[in-house]
Amino acid sequence: MPASSEYPVLSRLLSSNAQWSKDVSNTDPSFFKNLARGQAPKVLWIGCADSRVPESVVLACKPGDIFVHRNIANQFHLHDDSALSVLSYAVDVLGVEHVVIVGHTSCGGAAACLKGARELRNSDGTGAHEAPLERWLAPLTSLVASLDISGPEVPDAEALPVVVEENVKMQVENVVSSEIIRKAWSAGKNVHVHGWVYRVEEGRLQDLNISQGPN
């Protein structure tokens, strides 16, 4: 099998990593040794897998600052063991104080749900979700289909931002309704759940002001 470095794209990434490691070590010789001792992030970021929204970059944070879970369209499904495991570890082991659901403009997953919702409105509403991506986005597609903006008379440019925000709101409610958060609040843990939208065209985060906490 060929080595990763034989592929130009990956070779550049490996070289960039080596240079980054060297630069960080020159600036702070103890940085990586301290990092290896453990992590104590105060924030769990649940975001989209989109390559344009790398949390540490857009937040200007260092390794160890943010605990992360990312997937298509920043979903938090209550039956998804991956997401539940991340939330459980973040809250119960790391002791994070803030869980932030972060959507973003120009989201391909949200756009797919808008398209699917419009197709659903024009069908008998019983279409099967065969592909993995369709199954993953099915709850959001159903939500979008219930909104007025899913009609064909609403331009995509007007409808998509609404889908993005409504998606974040739904995921915040999902996190809040999880047994993990409910138990944390019952135990007196000061964990808050927030909803943000990252505006790709501006590089700025918007707080949707929908935070929920134990009080």
Q: Which two tokens stand for residue 146?
A: 């219930």
Q: Is 119 strand, coil or helix?
A: helix
Q: Is 113 annotated as a binding residue?
A: no
How crowded is the C-beta side of 186, counted as CA atoms within 13 Å?
8
Alpha-carbon distances of 44 from 7, 33, 59, 70, 203, rounded to whole Å: 34, 23, 13, 10, 20
Which among 210, 196, 209, 178 has a CA at the least distance from the CA of 92? 178
CA dist., res. 178 & res. 194, Å (int): 14
DSSP 37: T
Cite the active site residues: 48, 50, 52, 104, 107
CA dist., res. 212 & res. 215, Å (int): 8
3-state SS of 136-167 is HHHHHHHHHHCCHHHCCCCCHHHHHHHHHHHH
Q: Is 92 annotated as a binding residue?
A: no
Q: Is 77 annotated as a binding residue?
A: no
Which residue type occupies 208? Answer: L
DSSP 47: E
Q: Is 23 annotated as a binding residue?
A: no
Annotated binding residues: 48, 50, 104, 107
Annotated binding residues for Zn(2+): 48, 50, 104, 107
